[in-house]
Amino acid sequence: MNQRAPSPTRVADVGSLMADRLLTISGSEAAAAAPLMDPARGGLVLVGKKPAPLAQLTAAYPEVLLMREPTSARTVATPEAPFDLPPDDGLLAAPDLSGILDGQREAGAAAAITPTRYFPSDSGAAMEAAVRVANSLYRRDMLLWIPCEWKWAGEARVARLIAILRRSRHPVALSLADRQDPLAHKGVPAGLRRIAQQVDGLVLWRTDLAGIDAMVHGASAMAVGVLPSQRHLTEAGGAAFAARPDDKTPHVFVRHLLRYVQARKMQERWFASIPAPVCECRICSGRPLDRFTGSPEDRTAAHLHNVAELMTLHGELLASGIARRSWWREQLDDARAAHQALAGRTSTDVPFPPTLNSWAKI
């Protein structure tokens, strides 16, 4: 046992610690999001170049599950070096994989996550090496992070991915990478669902609504990004694609449509002449959903609204018990009807998003 780690949450088993949780991935908004977290069902994952200090948040919110995502996925994994470990300079012994994980725990992380490098679609040998090396660690407080190209969840490769991940003795945190939305590729929604069904204890990491679909179909937990760029990974060395970089209005989660919509789109296209729906979450308190401008204050408020609404949806998922699938189907059917109703009221075309359509049909 590690004698030095006064961690707020003693991990008997990371699988039971993660079970049924909605984690929130956040960079600069972490301190604002922390008070919203449910100690039993939530948690916060710190990301970014300048994440909020873990120790400071641990001291302020000792009851909240906190973790930090490594920066390792910026480089490509090889079979010889699937993890990002500091080089041994020959003078001081550099920490090995277990030492890195110990460091995360000592800094206040409730569980550790491997500093895994990025797996392009042709790097099966490197991914197998990552599983093999992680399996040599006999500890129960760690997730094996698998940041990989979206093609791994496509029809051609998903069976191999599942076979590799099923060999891991540690629960897997899976992140798909793409410049845009990985779920927009044909076959990926179905592939992700297969992975959730066949890989025990899966945590879908850096996701959005796909995490709900995964948890309905067997995944253990989900980690949802606050910002669009945190809801998927980008390829090592790549940059995320922004539709309109000049438009700073936030993407707002609209519960009855089951989707994120940019505030400007609501203001200009949907609710220019009819009133926008109001939101009763604890951030909005009955105010309209299209009110957010691109100001830093409005952007933060919108992001916190998203966190609060996702938590409500996640709470409904857990409350549905063994009826998860029929509950989810009902949500998707209602969202389809809401899109049609909105199109009728606004006399505009409001297509049902292809990903929601896939989930409703597969």
Euclidean distance between CA atoms 307 and 299, whole angstroms: 12
Task: For the CB of residue 303, give the shortest distance to Zn ion in the complex, in Å.
Answer: 11
Euclidean distance between CA atoms 183 and 23, whole angstroms: 20
Size of the site for Zn ion (CB under 5 A): 5
> Does 192 sit near Zn ion (CB under 5 A)?
no
* Tokens representing residue 223 in the block: 């980690």
Task: For the CB of residue 250, give the shortest distance to Zn ion in the complex, in Å.
Answer: 12
DSSP summary character for residue 183:
G
Please give the angle made by the CA atoms of 85, 51 and 133, to the nearest 5 degrees: 25
Alpha carbon 320 to its chain centroid, in Å, reads 22
Burial 201-228 (b: 16+ CB within 10 A, else e): bbbbbbbbbbbbbbbbbbbbbbbbbbbb
CB 196 within 8 A of CB 204: yes
> Does 110 sit near Zn ion (CB under 5 A)?
no
> Does 18 sit near Zn ion (CB under 5 A)?
no
CB 166 within 8 A of CB 337: no
> Does 232 sit near Zn ion (CB under 5 A)?
no
Of 52 and 254, CB closest to Zn ion:
254
> Does 307 sit near Zn ion (CB under 5 A)?
no
Work out the number of other CB atoms within 10 angstroms of the CB of residue 298.
16
Of 301 and 356, CB closest to Zn ion:
301
Alpha carbon 154 to its chain centroid, in Å, reads 19
Of 217 and 305, CB closest to Zn ion:
305
Q: Given candidates 284, 332, 350, 356, which one binds Zn ion under the rule CB under 5 A?
A: 284
Of 46 and 307, CB closest to Zn ion:
307
x/- track of binding to Zn ion for residues 263-282 (CB under 5 A): ----------------x-x-
CB 224 within 8 A of CB 23: yes
Of 134 and 281, CB closest to Zn ion:
281
Name 84's Cβ contacts closer than 8 Å, sequence gap at least 6: 70, 71, 72, 75, 115, 116, 117
Give which of 66, 52, 56 is closest to 8, Cα–Cα. 66
Interacting stretch for Zn ion, rule CB under 5 A, among 75-83, 128-136, 253-261, 299-307?
299-307
> Does 231 sit near Zn ion (CB under 5 A)?
no
Interacting stretch for Zn ion, rule CB under 5 A, among 10-18, 70-78, 107-115, 284-292?
284-292
Q: Given candidates 157, 217, 303, 305, which one binds Zn ion under the rule CB under 5 A?
A: 305
Task: For the CB of residue 24, give the shortest distance to Zn ion in the complex, in Å.
Answer: 15
Of 282 and 345, CB closest to Zn ion:
282
> Does 127 sit near Zn ion (CB under 5 A)?
no
> Does 301 sit near Zn ion (CB under 5 A)?
no
> Does 255 sit near Zn ion (CB under 5 A)?
no
Interacting stretch for Zn ion, rule CB under 5 A, among 39-47, 62-70, 132-140, 283-291?
283-291
Interface positions, 314-343, toward Zn ion (CB under 5 A): none
Residue 303 identity? H
Query: Applying CB under 5 A, which residues contact Zn ion?
Result: 279, 281, 283-284, 305
